[in-house]
Structure formats: C-alpha cells, structure tokens
Structure 1
Amino acid sequence: MPKHREDLDRVFHALSDPTRRALIERLVRGPASVSELARPFEMALPSLLQHLSVLERAGLVTSSKVGRVRTFQLAVEALTPGAEWIGRQRLPAERRLDRLGDFLTPDTTKEN
C-alpha cells in the first residue's frame, strides 16, 4: 500500500472517534496542556493520553514538554490530505447529481 494511503488511513482512523474529534475541536482554539484537555472528559488520564497518542501518530497534533507540563497543538496542515481526498470524491458525485437535475428539469425553452 502506498505511504500516502497509509497516512490517510491513520488520519481517518484518528478522526473516527468522537473524543478525538472533540480534542481536535478544542485545539483549533489554540495549544492546551493535557490537564486542560482532560477537563471536559469523564475518563481516566491514561485513556485521554491514549487518544492524544493516536492523534499524534496520525500527525494531527504535536506536543512539547516544559518541566512537567506537556502541551499539545493542532498540526493544521495534517488535515489537508483528508480534505483533499473528500473533495476528490465529492466532485464526481456532484457532477452526476447536476446531470440528473438537468435531466429531470423540464426544458422550458423548447416550443411545443
């Protein structure tokens, strides 16, 4: 399997979980420490760290550690391949729907 496909699989796998999507949504607002990210979730810290690890392996987030505080930030550019893939799938479908709409719409310019 080509590497870019494996990368895309990792991104979509990471985004398939609602907790990980919520973490991404929070990180859109800016970097946050693990404790800040954990606040809204009712789960053990090791479970949250597993979610962050999945996001980091997919390249969607990066982290840095200063002292005892680990901070995560969104890697915005990592979302681009997924968005491009979705766009490539959407365009042909939209064209088919446009053609269907043209077929189903009566042509009022023709005289009877």
Structure 2
Amino acid sequence: MLKKRKPIRPSTSRADIYVTRERRRFSSHLRRARKLLFERNYPFITIHGLGAAIQHAISLANAVKASLGGQVTMEVSTDTVTLFDDIIPKNDTDDISTQMRQNSAIHIQM
C-alpha cells in the first residue's frame, strides 16, 4: 500500500494561499485574496499550487486580477518539489520503506 505524505512547506504567512484541486473552495480563496489585498492592505499575496492544483492556482490568480480590474501585477515562478511516500507492505514481516518523487509547483505573487 502506498501512503502519500503531505508536502513539506516552509513557514507560511497570512498572505500565503495554498490552492488544492477542490473547486468548491475557489470562491472562498477569491474572497480571501481580495480581502488581504484591499481591506487588510497587504503589499502582496502569494498563491501556491502543487501538481494537479497548478491550473486552479492560475485560474485563481486570473480571477483575482480580473475582479480587481487589472490593478495588480503578477510575478510567476515555478519550482520542483520533492515529495515522500511511505510504502507499507501487505505482510507484517517486511519493513516500511520510503520512496521519493518530484512534482511541479507554481508560486504567483500578486
């Protein structure tokens, strides 16, 4: 059995928004981004997406920019993140092993 560990994240600030593949959270992420930029006067926010969530992060950044009338600029960077998975054997006599894999990530600063 393969058990995927959560990615290791650096310490985050309130200005970091981590996007997942869940589309139902899109509107709450959009509201939060607008609130941070205009109500709380953060100088910038950073939207992060990993793997399959990259497209959702790009969509969110474009929606934030469109909802603010293009008043914000975007600075995009990509990255490769190392992820770890635990391989749990079917029988109890074997040891648990760990495998490493790479995944793409995007960071959009607005």
TM-score (normalizing by structure 2):
0.32
Larger Rg: 1
**RCO higher in structure (CA 8 A, sep ≥6):** 2
Q: TM-score, normalised by structure 1?
A: 0.31
Which structure has the highest strand share of the two? 2
